[in-house]
Amino acid sequence: MIESLRITDLERFKDDYNDKIFITFDIDWAADDVIAYCLNLLEKNDIKATFFVTHETKMLDRMRQSPNIELGIHPNFNFLMNGDFRYGKTFTEVIAYYFKMVPEAVSARSHCLVQSSPILDAFHDLKIKYDLNLFIPRVSNINLKPFDSWQDDLIRLPHFWEDDMHLTYNDPADVNHYLDFDGLKIFDFHPIHVYLNTEDMSRYNSARSVLQNMNELKTHVNTEHFGINDFFNNLIKEISK
């Protein structure tokens, strides 16, 4: 049986994570109803997950009340890299901005996986224990495992599946292609792709101007082709078996 865990549950299992998976979400400024849609699916099926947070929303309270859900930070360094200081004038200010939102965070994954040695040092200084900024896709055929960063209490957790990359790589749709693979299995979803049942990134791109308008957004949901929502539901079925 496959079990889904939160990132911090890893501590309890050491190297015994072959029949475990880790479902993670980068919330990426999704509308509350889009996030709620994912939380409903998780709650209905009693699934544990880790959410990486980009913004203040009342959904954070709902997540914090759930024993199955934990929160990490999802700092966005893209504005800083383009000379826009809305989240801070330096990378440490940007991290502090997100950490203030989720002071309990012990895990971090940057938006667009932006990383550097000084960023890892800054995560470590803030007592972040898990960095999830490495994407090493299933197609690499590399069996993944957690490994120590140079700071002895920061662990790096590469993920082997990410919804947008899954579509971009045109990876096999069968969940068993991933579940049967040995090693650390971290899945990285975005609520918007679960909600839209994205089957092709062009679907998301055409919905970009209406992401906060639920009446408009729901007209963009894919009901014809196998998409990320279908993949997510197949994954959940394997956990619930």
| Smallest distance, Zn ion to C-beta of residue 27, A | 8
26/199 with CB nearer Zn ion: 26
Crossing angle (nearest 10°) for helices 228-240 and 32-44: 30
| Smallest distance, Zn ion to C-beta of residue 192, A | 10
17/99 with CB nearer Zn ion: 99
Q: Which residue is nearest to Zn ion (CB)?
A: 111
28/163 with CB nearer Zn ion: 28
| Smallest distance, Zn ion to C-beta of residue 28, A | 4
Residue 120 in contact with residue 154, Cβ under 8 Å?
Answer: yes
Q: Which of 61, 67, 73 is nearest to 24 (CA)?
A: 73
- Cβ burial 187-198 (10 Å sphere, 16+ → b, else e): bbbbbbbbbbbb
Helix (H) and strand (E) counts in the chain: 12, 10
| Smallest distance, Zn ion to C-beta of residue 113, A | 8
17/109 with CB nearer Zn ion: 109
Residue 34 CA to residue 18 CA, distance in Å, equals 31
| Smallest distance, Zn ion to C-beta of residue 11, A | 25
Burial class, 95, CB count within 10 angstroms (exposed 0-12 / middle 13-18 / buried 19+): buried
55/62 with CB nearer Zn ion: 55
Residue 137 in contact with residue 165, Cβ under 8 Å?
Answer: yes
Interacting residue ranges for Zn ion, rule: CB under 5 A: 26, 28, 111
